[in-house]
Structure 1
Amino acid sequence: MIYNLPHTRQFDENTAVCYNSDFTVAVPVVKNVCYFNEADFFSEKLLRQKCEDLLRASAGFEQEYENFVRQKARRPSYDIYACFQSFNEACKAFFPFIKLLQKKLPAGATILNLWDRTGWLGALLQGFFPEQRVITLWEGDKDVLGYKGFHFWYQDEVARREMEVGFANLNKPLPFEDDSVALVFGLDTFHRFDQSLLLQELLRITPENGAILFPHVHLSNSEPEPFFERGCRQLHGLDYDAFFGQLFENTGRQGFVFPEPEMFALNELYEQQPHPIVSQPNSHHYNAMLAILPQSWAESEQLEAYRFADLQDPESCHILVNPLLHIDYSRQLVRIDRAKYSDRVGYLLDRHPIYLEKLSRAEDYRLSGVAAKALYLAGQLYTVQEIAAELELPVADLLPILQDMQERDIVQLVPVTKDQMRLQQYITTQEYVLPESQLTLTVLWQRSVARYGDELFLISEWDESEFTYADCQEIIRQIRLKFAAEGLQRGDRLALITINNFEAVLTVLAAVQSGLVVVPLEYKLVPATVAHILEEVRPRLTFIDEHVAGVFGDLLTDQRVVQFDGEHEPEAFELFSDWLADQEEDTAFPSVEVSPGDLAVILYTSGSTGIPKGVMLSHAQLVRSSRLVTESFHWQTKDRFFAVGELDAMSGLRNACFAPLEVGAAVVIPTVMSKSNMFGLCESIAQHQATILGTTPALLNQMVQFERRVRADLTSLRQVICTGSALSVELKQAFHEAFGIAILNYYGLTETTGICITEKEGAADLNSSTIGRACDCIAQVVDESGEIVVPGAEGELRIFSRNIMQGYYQREELTRSVIRKGWFYTGDIATIDAAGNVQLKGRKREIIKTADGLLVYTSEVEQILERYPSVQEAAVVPVIEAEKEKMLSFIVLTEAVTDQEPIRIALKKFITEKIGDRNVPVEIHFTDALPRNANGKVLKTALTI
Structure 2
Amino acid sequence: MDNAVRLVWDRAEQAPDAPALREGERSWTYAELRSGVQGAMEQLHGRGIAPGDRVLVVMPTSAEFVLAYHAILALGATAVTVNPLCTARELTHFVEDAGCSTALGWHEGEAAVRATATDCGMDLWTLHPGAIATSGDGQPAEVAARDAAVLLYTSGTTGAPKGAVLTHENLVSCGVALNEALDLSPDDSMGTALPLFHVFGQAAVMFTAYAAGGCLSLQHPFDAAGLLQMAADQQLTGIAGVPTMWNAMLHAQTDLTAADLAHLRLACSGGAALPLEVAKAFKDRFGAVVLDGYGLSETTGAATFNSLANPRKEMSVGRALPGGRLAILDEDRQPLQPGLAGEVAISGPFVMREYWNRPEATAAVREGEWFLTGDIGRMDEDGDLWIVDRKKDLVIRGGYNVYPREVEEVFYGHPDIREVAVIGVPDNRLGEEIAAVVSPQPGADIDPAELRAWLEERLAAYKVPRVYQLIDELPKGPTGKILKRGLDRESISTAGDRPPRVTSTH
Taking structure 1 as the reference length, the TM-score comes to 0.42
1:705 and 1:781 map into 2 onto residues whose CA distance is 37
Instruction: State the secondary structure of the residue aligned to 1:924.
Output: helix
- Same amino acid, percent of matched pairs: 24
1:742 and 1:486 map into 2 onto residues whose CA distance is 46
Instruction: State the secondary structure of the residue aligned to 1:755.
Output: coil
Q: Residue in 2 aligned with 1:811? A: 358
2:265 and 2:289 in contact (8 A); partners too: no
| 1:826 shift after superposition | 0.7
1:553 and 1:487 map into 2 onto residues whose CA distance is 19
Alpha-carbon spacing, 1:874–1:594, altered in 2? closer, same or farther (3 Å): closer
Q: 1:598 aligns with which of 147, 172, 176?
A: 147
Q: Residue in 1 aligned with 2:131? A: 576
1:541 aligns with 2:102: yes
Q: Residue in 2 aligned with 1:618? A: 167
Q: Residue in 1 aligned with 2:244? A: 698
Of 609-618 and 658-667, deviating more is 609-618
Q: Residue in 2 aligned with 1:634? A: 183
Instruction: State the secondary structure of the residue aligned to 1:763.
Output: coil
1:478 aligns with 2:39: yes
How many residue pairs end up in the alignment? 425
| 1:693 shift after superposition | 0.9
1:874 aligns with 2:431: yes
Matches within 5 A, 1:263-278: none
2:88 and 2:115 in contact (8 A); partners too: no
Larger radius of gyration: 1
Alpha-carbon spacing, 1:609–1:652, altered in 2? closer, same or farther (3 Å): farther
Instruction: State the secondary structure of the residue aligned to 1:453.
Output: coil
1:479 and 1:651 map into 2 onto residues whose CA distance is 24
Of 727-736 and 470-479, deviating more is 727-736
Q: Residue in 1 aligned with 2:387? A: 840
2:187 and 2:114 map into 1 onto residues whose CA distance is 41
1:472 and 1:888 map into 2 onto residues whose CA distance is 52
2:171 and 2:292 map into 1 onto residues whose CA distance is 20
2:3 and 2:141 in contact (8 A); partners too: no
| 1:810 shift after superposition | 1.6
1:532 aligns with 2:93: yes
Greater relative contact order: 1 or 2 (C-alpha under 8 angstroms, separation 6 or more)? 2
Alpha-carbon spacing, 1:451–1:821, altered in 2? closer, same or farther (3 Å): same
1:600 and 1:619 in contact (8 A); partners too: yes
2:38 and 2:71 in contact (8 A); partners too: yes
2:57 and 2:104 in contact (8 A); partners too: yes
Instruction: State the secondary structure of the residue aligned to 2:486.
Output: strand
- Equivalent position amino acid for 2:476 in 1: A
1:448 and 1:662 in contact (8 A); partners too: no
1:457 and 1:667 in contact (8 A); partners too: yes
1:707 and 1:738 in contact (8 A); partners too: no
1:474 and 1:449 map into 2 onto residues whose CA distance is 10
| 1:771 shift after superposition | 0.9
Q: 1:562 aligns with which of 95, 120, 125?
A: 125
Instruction: State the secondary structure of the residue aligned to 2:493.
Output: strand
1:925 aligns with 2:494: yes
Alpha-carbon spacing, 1:542–1:877, altered in 2? closer, same or farther (3 Å): closer
1:443 aligns with 2:12: no
1:523 aligns with 2:84: yes
- Equivalent position amino acid for 1:531 in 2: T
Q: Residue in 2 aligned with 1:728? A: 275
1:770 and 1:837 in contact (8 A); partners too: yes
1:744 and 1:764 in contact (8 A); partners too: no
| 1:811 shift after superposition | 1.8
1:440 and 1:720 map into 2 onto residues whose CA distance is 29
Matches within 5 A, 1:68-79: none
1:485 and 1:552 map into 2 onto residues whose CA distance is 20
Matches within 5 A, 1:400-439: 438-439=1-2
1:484 and 1:590 in contact (8 A); partners too: no
| 1:458 shift after superposition | 0.8
1:604 and 1:512 map into 2 onto residues whose CA distance is 17
Structure 1, residues 497-518: CA drift from partner, whole Å, max 9, x if none? 0101112201111221211111
1:844 and 1:476 map into 2 onto residues whose CA distance is 38
2:140 and 2:114 map into 1 onto residues whose CA distance is 34
- Equivalent position amino acid for 1:638 in 2: D
Alpha-carbon spacing, 1:930–1:498, altered in 2? closer, same or farther (3 Å): farther
Matches within 5 A, 1:165-176: none
| 1:718 shift after superposition | 1.6
1:753 and 1:803 in contact (8 A); partners too: yes
Alpha-carbon spacing, 1:732–1:610, altered in 2? closer, same or farther (3 Å): farther
- Equivalent position amino acid for 1:620 in 2: E
2:302 and 2:350 in contact (8 A); partners too: no
Matches within 5 A, 1:1-20: none
Q: Residue in 1 aligned with 2:370? A: 823
| 1:736 shift after superposition | 2.5
Taking structure 2 as the reference length, the TM-score comes to 0.76
Instruction: Indicate the structure with greater helix content.
Output: 1
Cα RMSD between the aligned structures? 3.1
Q: 1:684 aligns with which of 230, 236, 241?
A: 230
| 1:716 shift after superposition | 4.3
Structure 1, unpaired ranges of 5+: 1-437, 567-574, 848-861, 890-920, 932-945
1:888 and 1:710 map into 2 onto residues whose CA distance is 42
Matches within 5 A, 1:70-469: 438-461=1-24, 464-469=25-30
1:647 and 1:653 in contact (8 A); partners too: yes
2:276 and 2:487 map into 1 onto residues whose CA distance is 24
2:275 and 2:15 map into 1 onto residues whose CA distance is 38
Q: Residue in 2 aligned with 1:335? A: none
